[in-house]
Amino acid sequence: KLSENAGYGIDKILGWEKLTGKTVTFESDMLISTVTYPLASTKDSRNAGENSGEIEKQSTRERLIALIKENPRITRASLSQQLGISSSNVQFHIERLKSEGIIQRVGSPRNGHWKFPSE
């Protein structure tokens, strides 16, 4: 059972590079393995520090909106894969956008599409 789970999540680890543009490094010896996730650089270094988490959220939010605009019928699973984030994180951002009135779901969950009421 341990060997079955040994490789679980490697695809998500490697997704870090897609998400941030930075390469994850692996170092290992007989006793310990280390995985290093370099932080993504922010475009505006003046806002680094306390607001860096907020910048990342805005970036994910902007990319989410752009993907929905490109394909209003896009699924949450596809958004999760393309953004390199979990489906629950996609759900969080979508719920927030819906509550702010930025996006709206039209039709059924299976056959519906996203709409931007302000456009």
- Assigned token pair, 95: 């719920």
114 and 61 in a common domain:
yes
Return d(Cα 54, Cα 51) in angstroms, integer. Answer: 5
Summarised one tens digit per residue, pLDDT across range 10-55 is 777 777 777 777 787 888 887 887 878 777 655 433 444 444 454 4
29 and 54 in a common domain:
no
Summarised one tens digit per residue, pLDDT across range 62-74 is 889 989 999 999 9
Residue 105 lies in a domain: yes
79 and 35 in a common domain:
no
Summarised one tens digit per residue, pLDDT across range 38-50 is 776 554 334 444 4
DSSP letter at 29? -
Q: What is the pLDDT of residue 103?
A: 92
Residue 45 lies in a domain: no
> What are the residues whose beta carbons fall under 8 Å from the beta carbon of 4, sequence distance 6 or more?
none
Name the domain count of the chain: 2
89 and 55 in a common domain:
yes
Q: Is 95 helix (H, G, I), strand (E, B) or coil?
A: helix
Residue 23 lies in a domain: yes
Return d(Cα 104, Cα 116) in angstroms, integer. Answer: 6
- Domain that residue 62 falls in: 50-119
26 and 60 in a common domain:
no
88 and 54 in a common domain:
yes
94 and 69 in a common domain:
yes
